[in-house]
Structure 1
Amino acid sequence: MSAVATDPPSAGRTLTAFVTAPFTRRARAELSYLVVVAPIGIAVPVGALAFLMIMGFLAPGPAKPENVSFAGVAVGAVVLLVLATRLARRLGSFHRRLTARLLGERVEEPPSFRPGRGVLGRLDPRLRDGAGWRAVAYLLLRVPVAVLGLYALEYWVTGLANLSYPLWWGLFRNHPPGVHLSPVPFLTPLRTRPFHITTYPGTLLVCAAGAASLLVAPWVSRAVVLADRWLTRNLLGPGRLTQRVRDLEQTRAQAVDDSAALLRRLERDLHDGAQARLAALAMNLGLAKEKLGDDGPELAQIRELVEAAHQGAKDALGELRDLARGIHPAILDTGLPDALAGLALGSAIPVEVTTDVPDRPTPAIETIAYFCAAELLANAVKHSHAKTITIHLAEPNGWLLLTVADDGIGGADPARGTGLSGLTHRVGTVDGHMDIASPPGGPTRVSIRLPPHA
């Protein structure tokens, strides 16, 4: 009868995990993390208090050094208030990188700070910087966690010291007159009255206590690190609402890109499939029409039928080409600048195209920009009575900027049904913006700002 392999009892696994915990990679990573962040957590509030005290002493006031100027403290508090979010953001970024490297906890960065112009323009956004104030709250709430972290580090230091106590105990013995062995203090993380070891067998008890301290140390460290990770996730990240918006933006971008890819594939299928067959059919019908003569009424009727079929095939081929071009222009495969140049060549009014786009946008954004330019160009040709049209494509400040201008009569209004309202909706699907400047008498200038990625 064969023996059935069974898992070791859960109590045995628990004991094994408890004994081997100080030697695991996780314990080393958490210990390294506490060694770095615990002193920083204490240094931040101490540094802030020291700064306020220095400002209080340096401020003009009574000559006695023991007098602290409350005006100086108030000025220091205002300075800290202004710089708090900026410094907290930098420390928060350092903690995120450290958490990702040592603990494997990757927290996404919050939205970047965007200062305004001027003194008030820079000050007001800092005071309303939600991500910065969450980072400040993180630094304040980390103070008790940092104290617990130092206590956890004491377990490690005391455990190592006590474990090696029998090795170095004899090096620090003194031999005063009449005393053979002087007592050596025993370090302990427990706040009890210190006791002394006067004999070598007593050092073995200290060694056992050090081993127990090392066994407990990783679990204390883990509890402190778990609290710190919770604070990092909830205070140093983008926030729940911002994260939800970011997730929705990513989902929308994926849907837009998938839709653009589907349209490109549909255009290729129409071009390579239905268009090719219709073209072949039209050619065959054309050849049949040429071979048919005019002799006899029956041949004439057949020739008329073939000619009608030939014309129908050519009309269907033209409509299919227009449909495929409306789904996805094939010229976009070579890039948006070439596609805009192709639009300019087909315009009845001279068009000047200038482009300055170092990085190519995603296909979905290129498609939106192309159809917007095509619609604006068609509107200018039909309604503006312009002599020249300019199309400018640039990428300032990380946005794709498309500008279409003409020297026509102006008066373009989205409410008149010229297609501008549809462009507004098309641009808005990717959080773009469209500005129209078209006073009566002209000129007309339409600027479309699109993100480089949907």
Structure 2
Amino acid sequence: MSTWPAADEKPSLLRLLRKAVRAPFTRRAWAEAAYCLIGFPLGVGGGVVVVVVLALGAGLTLSLVLAVVGGLLLIAAPRLARALGGVHRGLAAGLLGERTAAPPPFRRGEGLVGRLDARLRDGTGWRAAGYVLAKLPVGALGAYAVLWWITGLVNLTAPLRWAVFGQQAQAGDAKGMPVLTPVPFGGLAADTFAGTWLAVLTGATTLLCAPWVTRVVVAGDRRLIRALLGPGRLADRVRDLEETRALAVDDSVALLRRIERDLHDGAQVRLVAVAMGLDMVKERLDDGRPLGVAGVRRLVDGAHRNATEALTELRDLARGIHPPVLDDGLPDALATLTARSTVPVELSADVPVRPTPAIETIAYFCAAELLTNVIKHSGASRAVLGVTQGEGLLRLQVTDDGEGGAAPDADTGLSGLAQRVRTVDGRIDVRSPRGGPTTVTVELPLHA
């Protein structure tokens, strides 16, 4: 049997052991422990206050006399939870680096009834209240995680406490000096000085485990913060729609400006030259001056040439707005595109359900831009273009054997593609390590 796998496992096992030994001495471990330590009184205190306010509010609303007071307490609960949520969010940002976007500000209603109704319907406030209530058990778990650190550090001082501070067992004391453990069972005791080193070993083991206990608690707290103290799915969706709408507007404005510039600098100039040439012929004919066959031919040839060039430019401009090859479907259009590529491209297309024209157009231009990047920047000798459908998505993937190193923020057109794809809720994934290969995947919905 080959021993190569075992040899390959040794370095990884050593790395794991080194990581485990170094874990208690890392800045992250101490920051997470500090977060659990500070978060315990803050979470318990805030949670108790919110629970009391909610309980009093719910109870008093059942009373005919104090129903108004109960309603005011219910209104105050989400407002208080918002403030506590902000404190927890700031604490997580300062110690954990968990920078969660603040939720949208509260929007007041019109009139007294509208304001009260808006307070009761404050979804962000009630989600923050949910976090504050969930922080009660999570904070208790955080305190238990800190207990691992405390017991580990205390046990490390057992020989010092025995020899210097006289904490050894007294005559007739059968129990000896207790060895602390964070688990509620298996209590130990040291009745000799040599036994104190068992406490040191227990403390060292506890300290090695302590960072991972706190990390588990903090990981759960992070998820709660992201889910309950952030903007929320609806607010995220609204913000994303606002951004994509702005991108779509900017893209359409840029397209209109490009069309105007191309018409002004290209076809319009050609057509003006045609008109001027025909005007010269007309003036000569009206004045009765002889032109001769050569003169007429020269003017007509110039007008014909300008008219032909104007038609070519208009045709190219129309192709940039909507390629005519898309009339026969995306696979045929991509086949035409790859046939014109100077780099050999292998095409595979499986599109059983035709997407909407807008999606086809975006997919076509994405493929054209990606193949252009392959030709200009990658140094590749071949590329593969694949288009598939599945799970309600159109997936377009371009892979090349070039040098790699492409990035969405680089000046290679990928950032523009990402913006164009986002306007229809699509996404783009770029994987391009140094040395290649490069794989760019574009996912688009079937309907815009």
Cα 1:260/1:96, change in 2 over 3 Å: farther
Give the Å deviation of 1:281: 4.6
Cα 1:11/1:76, change in 2 over 3 Å: farther
Sequence identity (%):
52
Q: 1:124 aligns with which of 98, 103, 117?
A: 117
1:214 aligns with 2:207: yes
Cα 1:113/1:51, change in 2 over 3 Å: closer
1:136 aligns with 2:106: no
Distance of 1:134 and 1:44 partners within structure 2: 14
Decide which moves more: 241-250 or 30-39. 241-250
Decide which moves more: 77-86 or 210-219. 77-86
Aligned match of 1:229:
222
Residue 295 of structure 1 aligns to a residue in which SS? coil
Contact 2:50–2:77 under 8 Å retained in 1: no
Give the Å deviation of 1:224: 0.8
Residue 10 of structure 2 aligns to a residue in which SS? coil
TM-score normalized with structure 2 length: 0.54
1:326-346 per-residue CA deviation (whole Å, 9 max, x = no partner) reads: x9xxxxxxxxxxxxxxxxxxx
Alignment of 1:424-439 (within 5 A): none
Q: Give the AA of the match of 2:151.
A: T
1:194-249 per-residue CA deviation (whole Å, 9 max, x = no partner) reads: 66545432321211111111111111111111211221222223333443343333
Distance of 1:177 and 1:100 partners within structure 2: 50
Aligned match of 2:289:
295
1:385-433 per-residue CA deviation (whole Å, 9 max, x = no partner) reads: xxxxxxxxxxxxxxxxxxxxxxxxxxxxxxxxxxxxxxxxxxxx9xxxx
Distance of 1:302 and 1:171 partners within structure 2: 119
Computing the radius of gyration from Cα coordinates, the structure with the larger value is 1
Give the Å deviation of 1:143: 0.8
Q: 1:247 aligns with which of 229, 240, 255?
A: 240
Distance of 2:170 and 2:151 partners within structure 1: 31
Residue 200 of structure 1 aligns to a residue in which SS? coil
Q: Which runs of 5+ in 2 are unaligned?
A: 315-320, 322-422, 424-448
Residue 180 of structure 2 aligns to a residue in which SS? coil
Distance of 1:42 and 1:75 partners within structure 2: 28
1:28 aligns with 2:30: yes
1:173-192 per-residue CA deviation (whole Å, 9 max, x = no partner) reads: 27999899x96554332334
Alignment of 1:72-87 (within 5 A): 78-87=71-80
Aligned match of 2:106:
113
Give the Å deviation of 1:165: 3.0
Contact 1:52–1:73 under 8 Å retained in 2: no
Residue 41 of structure 1 aligns to a residue in which SS? helix
Contact 1:138–1:231 under 8 Å retained in 2: yes
Cα 1:207/1:282, change in 2 over 3 Å: same
Distance of 1:165 and 1:138 partners within structure 2: 40
Moved over 6 A (4+): 49-55, 70-76, 174-180
1:278 aligns with 2:271: yes
Distance of 2:251 and 2:39 partners within structure 1: 44
Give the Å deviation of 1:81: 1.5
Q: Give the AA of the match of 1:24.
A: T
Contact 2:162–2:168 under 8 Å retained in 1: no
Cα 1:213/1:224, change in 2 over 3 Å: same
Aligned residue-pair number: 298
